[in-house]
């Protein structure tokens, strides 16, 4: 999702600090100047990976390692943090190091702040160079041993601001770096769950990696038997092991019908709906301790009064 911070502040670093510490309350009066920082992006233009539109011939149900099974010691060694200074906080473990801060969440997500970006360099690093640096970071910090990855998108990081005097003067926006995102692959297919199964590498225009965030899950087993599958006896008496994947279009139509039926019980009836172009995709969805093969697409539902709602419809294909 796009991330944006807009804050009245005389310092450029304040929006990032506010994002990282928004759970805290500060009674101090804010500056009347303002500065913004964002990694908002055009989804289509930033995408590198093409959505998968066909069903896998050899589907599998993935059994995943528990969310909290990531070793704090391994994370500390990878990112050069000091495990002896680990502090247990609410929801995460914090590790310090030479000019870096690393956290390991209870959900297994790792966030490593490795350096301060050089925001004075406003000559955008090329996409190719950014990808090369990001791939090097995957290897350097051992993330490539956790899972297989697929390059997903490259996003510009921008900032800008203005003064508090007179009519004000605007600066920017300036491109100060890039965010390179990779998607975890399971059985050759991408994880498409928002906020899961991804690695993000942030770098400035100097090519310095400033932050790494990883929320992948180790695959412990791939099963060719879906949970909902009940083997049927063959003519010889043996149980059949043939597992068919559901047709994506039929599965999505059924899932949308069920969602529409449930919404009618709670609110007004829609006057129409349309499928949002470019949103259809097949991949793995992480649900608890499993990753299941699904099809998904966005549907816009229109109501009286000129308002619309957009829903993501997901349908299991092999679960």
Residue bearing the bigger pLDDT, 165 or 192: 192
Q: Is 264 exposed, middle or buried (0-12, 13-18, 19+ CB in 10 A)?
A: exposed
What pLDDT sits at residue 5? 47
Give 268's contacts (C-beta < 8 A, 6+ positions apart).
303, 304
What pLDDT sits at residue 87? 86
pTM greater than the 0.95 cutoff: no
What pLDDT sits at residue 8? 47
Share of the chain above pLDDT 90, in %: 57
pLDDT above 60 (res 89): yes
What pLDDT sits at residue 34? 57
**pLDDT tens digits, residue range 11-57?**
555 655 665 565 566 666 655 555 555 555 566 667 778 888 888 77
**pLDDT tens digits, residue range 142-187?**
999 999 999 999 999 988 776 666 566 677 788 999 999 999 999 9
What pLDDT sits at residue 142? 96
What pLDDT sits at residue 84? 82
Element (H, E) at 134: helix 127-140
pLDDT above 50 (res 236): yes
Q: 95-130 in b/e burial notation, b at 16+ Cβ within 10 A?
A: bbbeebbbbbbeebbbbbbbeebebebeebbeeeeb
| Contact call for residues 97 and 112 (beta carbons, < 8 A) | no
- Strand, helix or coil for residue 162: strand
Give 255's contacts (C-beta < 8 A, 6+ positions apart).
313, 314, 315
pLDDT above 90 (res 105): yes
Residue bearing the bigger pLDDT, 52 or 135: 135
pLDDT above 70 (res 234): no
Rounded Cα gap, residues 307 and 289, in angstroms: 38
pLDDT above 60 (res 217): yes
What pLDDT sits at residue 122? 92
What pLDDT sits at residue 45? 63
CATH of domain 42-54+65-157+169-222: 3.30.310.160
**pLDDT tens digits, residue range 76-86?**
999 999 888 88
DSSP 259-272: HHHHHHTTSPPPSE
Among 55-59, 62-66, 91-95, name the one with the lowest average pLDDT. 55-59
CA distances from 305 to 169, 200, 308 (A): 40, 41, 9
What pLDDT sits at residue 70? 87
First to last CA, the chain: 27
**pLDDT tens digits, residue range 259-301?**
999 888 888 889 999 999 999 999 999 999 999 999 999 999 9
Percentage helix, strand, coil, to 5, in the chain?
20, 40, 40
pLDDT above 80 (res 209): yes
What residue spans define the domains of the chain?
A: 42-54+65-157+169-222, 248-318
Task: Tell me the average pLDDT of the chain.
Answer: 84
What pLDDT sits at residue 16? 57
């Amino acid at each position: 999702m796009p991330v944006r911070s807009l804050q009245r502040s005389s310092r450029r670093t304040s929006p990032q600090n506010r994002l990282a510490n928004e759970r805290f309350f500060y009674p101090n009066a804010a500056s009347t100047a303002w500065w913004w920082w964002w990694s908002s992006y055009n989804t289509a233009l930033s995408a590198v990976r093409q959505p998968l539109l066909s069903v896998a011939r050899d589907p599998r149900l993935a059994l995943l390692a528990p969310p909290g099974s990531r070793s704090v010691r391994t994370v500390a060694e990878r990112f050069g943090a000091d495990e002896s200074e680990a502090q247990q906080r609410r929801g995460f473990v914090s590790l310090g190091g030479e000019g870096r801060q690393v956290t390991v969440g209870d959900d297994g997500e790792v966030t490593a702040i490795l350096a301060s970006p050089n925001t004075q360099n406003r000559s955008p690093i090329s996409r190719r160079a950014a990808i090369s640096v990001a791939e090097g970071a995957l290897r350097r910090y051992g993330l490539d041993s956790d899972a297989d990855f697929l390059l997903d998108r490259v996003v510009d990081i921008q900032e800008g601001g203005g003064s508090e005097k007179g009519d004000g003067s605007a600066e920017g926006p300036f491109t100060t770096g890039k965010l390179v995102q990779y998607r975890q692959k399971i059985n050759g297919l991408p994880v498409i769950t928002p906020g899961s199964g991804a690695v993000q590498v942030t770098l400035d225009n100097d090519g310095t990696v400033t932050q790494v965030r990883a929320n992948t899950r180790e695959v412990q087993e791939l099963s060719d038997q879906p949970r909902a599958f009940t083997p049927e006896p063959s003519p010889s008496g043996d149980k059949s092991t043939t597992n068919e994947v559901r047709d994506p279009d039929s599965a999505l139509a059924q899932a949308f019908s069920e969602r529409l039926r449930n919404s009618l019980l709670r609110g007004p009836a829609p006057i129409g709906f349309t499928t949002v172009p470019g949103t259809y995709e097949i991949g793995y969805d992480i649900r608890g301790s499993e990753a299941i093969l699904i099809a998904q697409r966005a549907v816009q539902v229109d109501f009286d009064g000129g308002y619309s709602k957009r829903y993501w419809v997901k349908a299991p294909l092999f679960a």
